Chains A and B, each alone.
Chain A
């Protein structure tokens, strides 16, 4: 399906996704979008894993497994994060991350 696509293209895509995720994480104020940014970061890593596995070590499956593992962890993490966000919303009627600054000096 992707025969002939060079590794670099995958890596460039991954890197762009990664930094888009980082940017979103740092500048967006909505907790849900921050969560989405984390997913972007995780998935950019998944792309790298799969691409390396497919192109460098075609006979092996470790990269694939790792990607699946990360997806599972990300799913669990997303559910926990959303539960926390719902609780925060019930309490503050707000999900702006700048308002959540009680844990300071």
Chain B
């Protein structure tokens, strides 16, 4: 058995960075904090790679040939009673190691990129301190040994996301976006907490090892009491999924993600594309055995929500004009696909193909979506605008960005042999086995994905040449190197035989590309690309004609199907008017009123009786003595009778 306890440093380094840069960053030049953060991330990246190598290749496997799942570090943190205790520690298994790699890689690249991108910004050091806090919390989340540790880091991730979205805190839109993100995810986390309490109440444990192990108490409780036709276990897993859906921007809790694009672009790449938003997928994957065995209905919920979110977001993405918002909806759509893949999956071996596909897509998506965001950042950096209409013909000015963006677009569109092809193919294959209708839905989604990505690509890099205030140019090497590195990742990540490492029961299996699914998928992707080429390669009026021909539907899609308006209606018109106002009235008139009444009565009484304090010594003495005499007479009377 190899000692993995050094993995604690992967968590301690960013925490240390956060404290040091956050407290003392002001004493040095801004660049120092950038370099400190980046070098810290580099060390963590190397440590994660070493850990992955040792785990997958050196560490001996369990007796049945599966990868081991064990606690590398375990500290008893809160010892409430003998049975009820909350631990902190590091759980190593294939998915947590995969997430370590994803997070440290993307985070390292984003740190490096931010040195160039954020150069000269006010609050440079604050930015890096918060990024370190985020890295710490996200890593703590994925290695959590128990559901409570996960919840703590889950909230920490939410806080750092809030801080980073609101980085430009003088901008009103950024402030309201950060608040929106925090409140919406916090609302979802309420569900998560309820789910945790229900789950741990019926199973009596927080630990993932016990919960998802062979003889999990979650399997043997038999589901518990029924409510509305569903068992306690199903309800608790649905509530936990609600937390995951909030963080992963699943319909209808997705409204915060597009607004979160108000944050600096590297933040969008790291948090709102590659790592934090997939936490919900990771959560479902972490508790997957319970979903499969004890709560299949909840897993169906995951499947339908995922599938609906993916097509819903893909349609909206086709109509948006803000480059980052298109990418945000694309992220939502891709995460929907991951959720869908988890939802259709079974447990063990080839049955668990969907699980593997979901994790695989999470892995490849992290590369190409982070790349897309960083490239978008480079474009925004060059033209100082987010809006597609301000761009065009940039391929000559930004050759590196152009090449890397194209690779990422091809990858997400699922063109072989780039990364997205492999993972998307596995998802479709898994979907095909479960439900033919949803399989076609996902097929349409991948076509739409190819279409809107190439719509973006052509609108930015081709089309008419805009008149720019000054000639756009590439950023410094710290910005281009991450682009190229991630482009290599986006191109090659799919060639990893993923099913040999990650599977639902940690048992390696061999998965094949199924031509019957791969060929239509690629054709649909190509169809999307070709359509986009016809529409946007040169400036045409076809898109406008189609937009007008679809009438109400396209207008609704442009306005994001009025989900924001519905939320506003519910909160402002219904909750404020019919709940908050009566409660405020009650507070002002009944609660405050009774307090004021008591004060009034006291005041009046003392006003009346204060004359009694005359200051005349003999008067006091007279009263005292009369009292004594009266009492004496009274008691004498009482006792003698």
Q: Is B611 an interface residue (CB 8 A)?
A: yes
On chain B, the number of residues with a Cβ less than 8 Å from chain A's Cβ atoms is 11
Chain A residues with CB under 8 A of B611? 105
Most B Cβ at <10 Å: residue of A25, A27, A105: A105
Q: How far is the CA of A56 from the CA of B618 in the complex (A)?
A: 37
Q: How far is the CA of A104 from the CA of B621 in the complex (A)?
A: 15
Majority secondary structure, B binding face: helix
On chain A, the number of residues with a Cβ less than 8 Å from chain B's Cβ atoms is 12
Q: How far is the CA of A100 from the CA of B619 in the complex (A)?
A: 12
Closest to A102 in B: B615
Chain B residues with CB under 8 A of A104? 613-615
Q: How far is the CA of A58 from the CA of B117 in the complex (A)?
A: 107
Q: How far is the CA of A104 from the CA of B612 in the complex (A)?
A: 9
Contact, CB under 8 Å: B613 / A100? no
Whole-angstrom distance between the Cβ of A21 and the nearest chain B Cβ: 11
Whole-angstrom distance between the Cβ of A72 and the nearest chain B Cβ: 24
B611-628, CB < 8 A from A: 611, 613-618, 621-622, 625
Q: How far is the CA of A22 from the CA of B615 in the complex (A)?
A: 19
Closest to B617 in A: A97
Chain A residues with CB under 8 A of B622? 26
Q: How far is the CA of A100 from the CA of B615 in the complex (A)?
A: 8
Q: How far is the CA of A105 from the CA of B614 in the complex (A)?
A: 7
Contact, CB under 8 Å: B615 / A97? no
B586-641, CB < 8 A from A: 610-611, 613-618, 621-622, 625
Given A22-B625, A26-B622, A26-B625, A100:B617 Cβ within 8 A: yes
Closest to A27 in B: B618
Chain B residues with CB under 8 A of A27? 618
Contact, CB under 8 Å: B618 / A101? no
Chain B residues with CB under 8 A of A101? 614-616
Mask: chain A, 71-105; 1 = CB below 8 Å from B; 0 = not: 00000000000000000000000000110111111
Contact, CB under 8 Å: B618 / A26? yes
Chain A residues with CB under 8 A of B610? 105
Given A104-B613, A105-B610, A105-B611, A97:B618 Cβ within 8 A: yes
Whole-angstrom distance between the Cβ of B313 and the nearest chain A Cβ: 75
Closest to B613 in A: A105
Closest to B614 in A: A104
Q: How far is the CA of A22 from the CA of B622 in the complex (A)?
A: 9
Q: How far is the CA of A103 from the CA of B613 in the complex (A)?
A: 8
Q: How far is the CA of A103 from the CA of B614 in the complex (A)?
A: 8
Q: How far is the CA of A27 from the CA of B619 in the complex (A)?
A: 10
Whole-angstrom distance between the Cβ of B411 and the nearest chain A Cβ: 87
Closest to B629 in A: A22
Chain B residues with CB under 8 A of A103? 615
Q: How far is the CA of A84 from the CA of B445 in the complex (A)?
A: 99
Contact, CB under 8 Å: B621 / A26? yes
Q: How far is the CA of A22 from the CA of B611 in the complex (A)?
A: 25
Chain B residues with CB under 8 A of A98? 616, 618
Q: How far is the CA of A101 from the CA of B617 in the complex (A)?
A: 8
Q: How far is the CA of A52 from the CA of B613 in the complex (A)?
A: 40
A1-52, CB < 8 A from B: 22, 25-27
Whole-angstrom distance between the Cβ of A66 and the nearest chain B Cβ: 21
Whole-angstrom distance between the Cβ of B625 and the nearest chain A Cβ: 6
Whole-angstrom distance between the Cβ of A79 and the nearest chain B Cβ: 20
Chain A residues with CB under 8 A of B614? 101, 104-105
Q: How far is the CA of A100 from the CA of B610 in the complex (A)?
A: 18
Q: How far is the CA of A104 from the CA of B622 in the complex (A)?
A: 16
Chain A residues with CB under 8 A of B615? 100-105
Whole-angstrom distance between the Cβ of B179 and the nearest chain A Cβ: 54
Chain A residues with CB under 8 A of B616? 97-98, 101
Closest to B625 in A: A22
Chain B residues with CB under 8 A of A105? 610-611, 613-615
Whole-angstrom distance between the Cβ of A35 and the nearest chain B Cβ: 12
Contact, CB under 8 Å: A25 / B621? yes
Closest to B612 in A: A105
B379-421, CB < 8 A from A: none
Q: How far is the CA of A97 from the CA of B621 in the complex (A)?
A: 12
Whole-angstrom distance between the Cβ of A104 and the nearest chain B Cβ: 3
Chain A residues with CB under 8 A of B613? 104-105
Q: How far is the CA of A27 from the CA of B621 in the complex (A)?
A: 10
Q: How far is the CA of A100 from the CA of B613 in the complex (A)?
A: 13
Q: How far is the CA of A26 from the CA of B621 in the complex (A)?
A: 7
Q: How far is the CA of A64 from the CA of B615 in the complex (A)?
A: 38
Chain B residues with CB under 8 A of A22? 625
Closest to A22 in B: B625
Q: How far is the CA of A27 from the CA of B616 in the complex (A)?
A: 12
Q: How far is the CA of A28 from the CA of B600 in the complex (A)?
A: 41
Whole-angstrom distance between the Cβ of B626 and the nearest chain A Cβ: 10
Chain B residues with CB under 8 A of A26? 618, 621-622, 625
Q: How far is the CA of A97 from the CA of B522 in the complex (A)?
A: 111
Whole-angstrom distance between the Cβ of B615 and the nearest chain A Cβ: 3
Closest to A98 in B: B616
Chain B residues with CB under 8 A of A25? 618, 621
Q: How far is the CA of A102 from the CA of B617 in the complex (A)?
A: 11
Chain A residues with CB under 8 A of B621? 25-26
Q: How far is the CA of A101 from the CA of B622 in the complex (A)?
A: 16
Q: How far is the CA of A98 from the CA of B611 in the complex (A)?
A: 16
Closest to A100 in B: B617
List the 5 closest A-B pairs by CB distance, nearest first: A104-B615, A101-B615, A105-B610, A105-B613, A104-B613
Q: List 15 A-B contacts (CB under 8 A).
A: A25-B621, A26-B618, A97-B616, A98-B616, A98-B618, A100-B617, A101-B614, A101-B615, A102-B615, A104-B613, A104-B614, A105-B610, A105-B611, A105-B614, A105-B615
Query: A26-B621, A104-B615 given. 10 additional CB < 8 A pairs?
Result: A25-B618, A26-B618, A26-B622, A26-B625, A27-B618, A98-B618, A100-B617, A101-B614, A104-B614, A105-B610
